[in-house]
């Protein structure tokens, strides 16, 4: 097995390896190469800090890493680790991790962040063995039908998010994939709407259109419980359904809101971090 960092020339092989590695995953991660490219961009993936394991010319495993600031620290984000089914349980992931981490340290990264399904006991055990610690539990929710409209409030499309305003409405920090940086990286693939009362934005929602994932939704505290959040959801869902990933389970009010709007929890993930 040969290990090396990736270049742009490896992108198609990375895509093919990703699709094969996640072909039997608990979540459907099958997507077109264009959708994969959009996901990679959203997550801040840089091929030069991502690595692949090769058998001849065939990529059999990978660590796909993003770069960014996370809670004021330069952090590498594991946007996907996978090994093709016929090469699992041979230490490929452990060898790649040992190969990647010295380079990350050399480049000044101080933390390594990832999410892993709570039900994937083998992966959770591996990450704990590698020194990752659980930070919080994140829930993924899905709606089974279009959200019915809420308050009679003006909804407008927003071209440029006002993060000073938006962040003031948060009850907690979004995950890496839903962060302000992720929105900025994928802004061309996002739909952003704001709810306005007397020309003041009192709430907003952001959907990543390629996968229909609600990245962010928040309403000013003084305007909650008036149906504004539901109206934003109804606007973004249209006649279809929505899904939202990585909602902090500590935010009980947020989970109760989504459930009241017809969403249900379909899986949970641990957010885990390692100090490098």
State CA 9 to chain mean position distance.
Answer: 25
Judge if 52 and 152 occupy the same domain. no
Residue 276 lies in a domain: no
Judge if 33 and 102 occupy the same domain. yes
Judge if 242 and 169 occupy the same domain. yes
Give the number of other CB atoms < 10 A from CB of residue 259: 12
Judge if 204 and 252 occupy the same domain. yes
Query: Which parts of the chain register pLDDT below 50?
Result: none
Residue 130 lies in a domain: no
Exposure letters 192-201 (e unless 16+ CB within 10 A, then b): bbbbbeeeeb
Domain containing 80: what range? 2-109
| Ramachandran region, residue 107 (left: φ > 0; alpha: ψ -120 to 50; beta: rest) | alpha
| 194: β partners | 156, 204
pLDDT at site 29: 86
pLDDT at site 261: 93
Tokens 């279809």 correspond to 240
Residue 275 lies in a domain: no
User: Domain holding 83: CATH number?
Assistant: 3.40.630.30
Nearest to 81 by CA among 26, 18, 32, 8: 18
pLDDT at site 104: 98
Judge if 33 and 100 occupy the same domain. yes
Q: Which of 88, 109, 130 is the last residue before a domain boundary?
A: 109
pLDDT at site 271: 98
State CA 150 to chain mean position distance.
Answer: 27
- DSSP state letters, the chain: -EEEE--GGGHHHHHHHHHHHTTT-SS-----HHHHHHHHHHTTB-GGG-EEEEETTEEEEEEEEEEEEETTEEEEEEEEEEE-GGGTTSSHHHHHHHHHHHHHHHTT--EEEEEEETT-HHHHHHHHHTT-EEEEEEEEEEESSPPPP-S--EEEE-SS--HHHHHTT-SSPPPGGGSHHHHHHTGGGEEEEEEEETTEEEEEEEEETTTTEEEEEEE-GGGTTSSHHHHHHHHHHTTS--EEEEEETT-HHHHHHHHHTTEEEEEEEEEEEEE-
Judge if 250 and 161 occupy the same domain. yes
Residue 126 lies in a domain: no
Judge if 165 and 257 occupy the same domain. yes
Residue 194 lies in a domain: yes
Q: Which of 109, 126, 159 is the last residue before a domain boundary?
A: 109
pLDDT at site 152: 83
Q: Per the structure, how many domains does the chain have?
A: 2
pLDDT at site 28: 84
CA distances from 64 to 71, 91, 133, 147, 182 (A): 21, 17, 20, 35, 16
Residue 136 lies in a domain: no
Residue 234 lies in a domain: yes
Q: At what angle do helices 33-42 and 11-21 cross, to 10 degrees?
A: 100
Whole-angstrom Cα Rg for the chain? 19
pTM (global) more than 0.95: no
Judge if 68 and 179 occupy the same domain. no
pLDDT at site 240: 82
| Dist. CA 267–CA 273, nearest whole Å | 20
pLDDT at site 174: 97
pLDDT at site 63: 97
Residue 134 lies in a domain: no
Q: Which of 63, 87, 109 is the last residue before a domain boundary?
A: 109
Judge if 259 and 147 occupy the same domain. yes
| 134: β partners | 272
Judge if 83 and 189 occupy the same domain. no
Judge if 13 and 75 occupy the same domain. yes
Which residues, including other chains, have CB under 8 Å from residue 57's CB and lie 6 or more apart?
Answer: none
CA distances from 160 to 34, 130, 184, 192, 241 (A): 24, 40, 9, 8, 25
Judge if 92 and 171 occupy the same domain. no
């Amino acid at each position: 097995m040969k290990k090396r960092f990736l270049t742009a020339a490896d992108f198609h092989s990375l895509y093919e390896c990703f699709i094969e590695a996640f072909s039997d995953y608990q979540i459907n991660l099958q997507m077109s190469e264009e959708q994969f490219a959009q996901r990679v961009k959203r997550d801040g993936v840089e091929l030069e800090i991502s690595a692949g394991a090769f058998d001849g010319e065939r990529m059999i495993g990978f660590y796909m890493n993003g770069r960014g600031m996370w809670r004021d620290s330069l952090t590498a984000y594991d946007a996907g680790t996978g090994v093709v089914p016929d090469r699992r349980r041979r230490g490929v992931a452990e060898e790649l991790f040992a190969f990647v981490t010295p380079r990350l340290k050399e480049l000044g990264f101080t933390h390594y962040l990832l999410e892993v399904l709570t039900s994937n006991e083998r992966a959770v055990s591996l990450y704990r063995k590698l020194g990752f610690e659980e930070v919080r539990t994140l829930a993924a929710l899905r709606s089974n039908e279009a959200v019915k409209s809420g308050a009679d409030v003006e909804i407008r499309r927003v071209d440029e998010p006002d993060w000073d305003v938006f962040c003031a409405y948060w009850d907690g920090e979004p995950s890496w994939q839903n962060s302000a940086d992720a929105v900025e990286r994928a802004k061309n693939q996002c739909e952003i709407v704001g709810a306005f009362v007397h020309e003041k934005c009192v709430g907003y929602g952001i959907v990543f259109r390629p996968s229909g994932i609600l990245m962010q939704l928040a309403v000013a505290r003084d305007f909650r419980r008036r149906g504004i959040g539901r109206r934003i959801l109804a606007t973004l869902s249209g006649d279809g359904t929505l899904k939202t990933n990585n909602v902090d389970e500590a935010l009980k009010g947020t989970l109760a809101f989504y459930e009241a709007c017809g969403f249900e929890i379909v899986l949970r993930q641990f957010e885990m971090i390692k100090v490098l």
